[in-house]
């Protein structure tokens, strides 16, 4: 894997971590009865482009679909980087992509839902 691909994978991991925080906030708001679990909330595109700040609207269930495995990321339609990932789910609001085998190690190692050694 080249440096460029490596940087892309890490970039996606940063946005995934931010989205996990958004998801946690949505969870708290819904527990407090402030938002409805079926409503969409604003998440960040997890694509490989370093300068992408695109927002995507997802329900908690749609977001969870992306988090089902550590090698999946949720992105804005058309933001797929075919050299590192393939599309596994597509709607008019978002796409879910899955990393190619060579990229999976970083994706899995940076998964915020995985217990990090030493933390
Ligand atoms: Zn993007």
* Torsion angle (degrees, nearest 10) of CA 14, 17, 21, 27: 140
Residue 83 CA to residue 42 CA, distance in Å, equals 27
Please, which residues have CB within 8 angstroms of residue 24's CB and are 6 or more apart in sequence?
none
**pTM exceeding the 0.75 threshold for the entire prediction:** yes
Per residue in 37-88, pLDDT (tens digit) is 889 999 999 998 888 999 999 999 999 999 999 999 999 999 999 988 999 9
Cα 9 to ligand 1 centroid, rounded to whole Å: 13
Judge contact between 40 and 26, C-beta under 8 A: no
Q: So where are the chain's domains?
A: 3-109
Using alpha carbons, list the distances in angstroms from residue 73 to 18, 28, 49. Answer: 12, 23, 13
Cα 48 to ligand 1 centroid, rounded to whole Å: 7
């Amino acid at each position: 894997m080249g440096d460029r691909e490596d940087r892309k994978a890490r970039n996606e991991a940063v946005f995934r971590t931010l989205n996990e925080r958004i998801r946690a906030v949505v969870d708290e708001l819904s527990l407090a009865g402030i938002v409805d679990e079926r409503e969409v909330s604003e998440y960040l595109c997890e694509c490989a482009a370093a300068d992408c700040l695109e927002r995507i609207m997802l329900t908690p269930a749609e977001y969870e679909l992306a988090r089902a495995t550590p090698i999946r990321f949720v992105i804005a339609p058309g933001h797929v980087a075919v050299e590192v990932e393939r599309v596994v789910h597509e709607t008019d609001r978002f796409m879910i992509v899955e990393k190619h085998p060579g990229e999976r190690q970083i994706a899995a190692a940076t998964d915020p839902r995985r217990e990090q050694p030493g933390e």
